[in-house]
Amino acid sequence: MANGTSTTNQTLGTTHIFHIALTKLINGVSAINTLIAKSTTAIVAVALPDTVQKSSPPVSGKFRIRCIDGNGYYSDTDDINYNENARWIQHAVERKCNKMYDKVEIWRDTVKCPYSENCIAFWMRYVGKNEKVGQASIISGVATVLGGNTTSKQNVTVPYGKNLFYEPIPFEMLRTYETQPQVIVTVGDNPAVCHNLTCHFNYSVPQGEVTAYTYTTATKVLTLTGTNLPANASLIRHVEFAHSKCSISASSNTSLTCTLDHIPVCGSHLPNLVAKQGSVNSSASLSATVIGCTATSIAPTTQLNLLGGDNLTITGTNLPWNMATSNIDITLSDAQSTKCIP
Amino acid sequence: MVVTINGQTMTQSLSFTMMGGTKTGLALIPNSASPTLKTKINITLESTFPYTLAKSDFTVNATNITNPSYFRQMNVIGVYESTKTIEVMFGGAYTGLYQISIRHNTFGLVDTTGLQLTVGSNVTSYYPMQGSIYGGTELTITGTNFGTVYTDNPV
């Protein structure tokens, strides 16, 4: 609330608006007399009093706005011409009333006092003032006295509507307290906001378990057996074994059969079944399959450069088809244990 | 030779025979280049280099001597068989001293001991050293590795 106290009841949220109005100078009378038709032959003229048609007396001179803070302290603006515009009045207020700098808006009330009417009215509203808002009043100018006696001020308290409690809050100022893991998304360097500010991520208990598997080297066929496995291929993201994806040919709740897309790479491997909901657990009793590799030839072996830089080609079986996914170390058995970098 | 792949070890009993000697890069011309402008550099190999020169066979690098992790690759833009010279384009690098390395796809590394490239640009003098406070004085600046196009040398 504007008095500095937090609230959780939107009906208590208020905005404070002051209405400052001056009557505008009327230079001449609007009507002198009016005609009344008494009969078809006689006309009676009724004169209207001039004095009540003019501002009495008309507004003139200069005025000041006295800004009174919530503790009763006040400061006055410099003299302001009676017919000054809203922007200049705001400038004068912000210049002399330090507590209202950047926290007040002044605009002309063209509803209550249209430009065609003989009056001048302004609204003054506090913005972002998180303390007692105080009051404002009009006083006469010092160097030039304000003429006319029709100054007025009004304090209006307007509750916010139910659809908008506060002024729009920038996203950067929002902070939520979450008890669940959150998915944090950034687009470029900018944080993205989740729908309804809900970015919860739920960890689920893995479904199913691989309890056994077999791999047939000759056919490259991998068979998994287990419990509660994904029943069909559409529920499986991929199956991987020995650095190779596996194309599924049959699946059920208890078994899955697939064929490796590549020659298996040497190493010690366990199958990896990843369903759409995440990895399927493998039984701790599974033992890794060791796939060996052989080097049948290495070339060239003659006229190697003393400084290095030669390309050696190793030919064999079950060698890595993608060097980025394998750990490869080649060391010559010379005195310097020379390395060959793949 | 011991080959280890994903923890699986293969041991090959091989005998490699090495060349009787090395081939050397003899000259680097120029041996100084601008850090910001492209510079053509000619590297002359031994006349007995055993292969016919081809641009695609060579890889040439300049490695910073004080910071060996920083190196710049130079494109081979020409080869001259008659003089066993390769022409490379140096694209600029941080100021410093760089060791040149040359590798031939078939031959392997070329001995480039002593082939070092100095990267940097210096102002050695300017004249005159005084002028009118209202401007208009023509100034001549002398230094190293300035561009041959005057717009390459903003002052």
Tens digit of pLDDT for each residue in A248-287?
999 999 999 999 999 999 999 999 999 988 889 999 999 9
CB burial string A276-285: b at 16+ within 10 A, e below:
eeeebebeee
Residue A104 and residue A93 in contact, taking contact as beta carbons nearer than 8 Å: yes
Span A90-147, pLDDT tens digits? 888 888 887 777 777 887 777 766 665 555 667 777 776 667 667 777 778 888 887 6
Residue A59's pLDDT band (cuts 50, 70, 90): low
Q: Is 50 exceeded by the pLDDT of residue B56? A: yes
In the chain, the amino acid numbered B79 is V
User: Please, which pLDDT band fits residue B34 given cuts at 50, 70 and 90?
Assistant: very high
Whether B41 contacts B18, CB under 8 Å: no
pLDDT at position B10, please? 86
pLDDT at A141: 84
Q: Which amino acid is at B62?
A: A
Q: Which of B4, B6, B103 should be substituted to probe chain A, the one whose Cβ sees the most A Cβ atoms within 10 Å?
A: B6
Average pLDDT over residues A211-227: 93
Share of chain A above pLDDT 90, in %: 23
Burial of A139 (0-12, 13-18, 19+ CB in 10 A): middle
Residue A167 clears pLDDT 90, i.e. is over it: no
DSSP state of A303: S
pLDDT at position B26: 87
CB–CB of A306 and B18 under 8 A? Answer: yes
Confidence of residue B102 (pLDDT cuts 50, 70, 90): very high
Q: Is the pLDDT score of A160 beyond 50?
A: no
- Name which of A235, A234, A231, A236 is nearest A251 in CA terms: A231
Which of A301, A305, A316 has its CB closest to that of B15? A301
Cβ contacts of B14 on chain A, cutoff 8 Å: 298, 301
pLDDT confidence of residue A189: 82
Q: 2.40.110.10, 2.60.40.10, 3.40.50.1950, 2.40.30.200: which CATH number matches A209-291?
A: 2.60.40.10
pLDDT in tens, B119-141: 999 999 999 999 999 889 999 99
Residue A187: what pLDDT? 86
Which among B8, B16, B17 has the least Cβ separation from residue A293?
Answer: B8
Residue A55 has what pLDDT? 46
pLDDT computed for residue A96 by the predictor: 85
**Of A165 and B108, more confident:** B108
Q: Are B110 and B48 in contact (CB under 8 A)?
A: no
Q: Where are the alpha helices (DSSP H) in chain A?
A: 86-96
| Cα–Cα distance measured from residue B10 to residue A329, given in angstroms and rounded to the nearest whole number | 10
Task: Taking the CA atoms of A318, A320, A322 and A327 in sequence, report the sign of the dihedral they define.
Answer: positive
CA A324 to chain centre: 39
Read off the pLDDT of each residue in B90-117 and give the average, rounded to a whole number: 94
Which pLDDT belongs to residue B126? 94
- Confidence band of A41 (pLDDT split at 50, 70, 90): low
- Confidence (pLDDT) at B51: 92
Confidence at A1, pLDDT banded by 50, 70, 90: very low
> Is residue A35 pLDDT above 60, yes or no?
no
- Residue B125 Cα distances to B32, B128, B141, angstroms: 19, 9, 6
Residue (of A137, A130, A61, A141) closest to A97 by Cα position: A137
As beta bridge partners, residue A268 has A290
Give the mean pLDDT of A208-236. 92
Residue A305 and residue B109: Cβ atoms within 8 Å? yes
The sign one gets for the Cα dihedral A164, A169, A173, A174 is: positive
Task: Tell if the CB–CB gap between A328 and B5 is shorter than 8 Å.
Answer: yes
Q: Answer with the residue of higher pLDDT: A15 or A94.
A: A94
Q: Do B102 and B112 touch, CB atoms closer than 8 A?
A: yes
Contact B108 A268 (CB under 8 A): no
Cβ–Cβ below 8 Å for B8 and A290: yes
Asked if A306 and B22 come within 8 Å (Cβ–Cβ), the reply is: yes
Please write the tens of the pLDDT for every residue from A73-90: 888 899 988 778 888 888
Query: Nearest Cα to A18, choosing from A151, A135, A167?
Result: A135
Regarding an ipTM greater than 0.85, the answer is no
For chain A, count helices (H), then strands (E): 1, 26
- Are B1 and A298 in contact (CB < 8 Å)? yes
- Is the CB of residue A268 less than 8 Å away from at least one CB of chain B? yes
Residue numbers in B near A327 (CB within 8 A):
4-7
- The model's confidence at residue A193, banded by pLDDT at 50, 70 and 90, is confident
Write down the pLDDT at residue A27. 59
CA distance A67 to A84: 18
Say how far apart CA A289 and CA A265 lie, in whole Å: 11
Whether the CB of A306 is below 8 Å from some CB of chain B: the reply is yes
Q: Name the residue among A267, A301, A303 with its Cβ closest to that of B7.
A: A267
Region B16-24 average pLDDT: 84
Model confidence, pTM: 0.54
SS (HEC) of chain B: CEEEECCEEEECCCCCCECCCCCEEEEEECCEECCCCCEEEEEEECCCCCCCCCHHHEEEEEEECCCCCCEEEEEEEEEECCCCEEEEEECCCCCEEEEEEEEECCCEEEECCCCEEEECCEEEEEECCCCCCCCCCCCEEEEECCCCCHHHCCC
CB atoms within 10 A of CB A115: 8
Residue A242, pLDDT above cutoff 60: yes
Interface size between A and B, measured as CB pairs under 8 A: 93
Domain boundaries, chain A: 10-159, 209-291, 294-340
Return the CATH fold of B22-119.
Immunoglobulin-like (2.60.40)
Question: In the prediction, which pLDDT does B38 show?
Answer: 92
For residue B10, give the nearest of A291, A293, A302 by CB distance: A293
State how far residue B50 is from chain A, nearest Cα, in angstroms. 12
Average pLDDT of span A39-64:
57
Stronger pLDDT, A223 or A101, i.e. the higher one: A223
CB contact under 8 A, B5 and A293: yes
Residues B101-129 have a mean pLDDT of 93
Encoded tokens for A120: 């001048």
Per-residue pLDDT band at A30 (split at 50, 70, 90): low
Please classify residue A80 by burial: count the beta carbons closer than 10 Å to its beta carbon, then call 0-12 exposed, 13-18 middle and 19+ buried.
buried
Q: Name the closest residue on chain A to residue B5, using Cα atoms.
A: A328
The verdict on a CB contact (< 8 Å) between B14 and A293 is no
Q: Mean pLDDT score of chain A, rounded to an integer?
A: 77
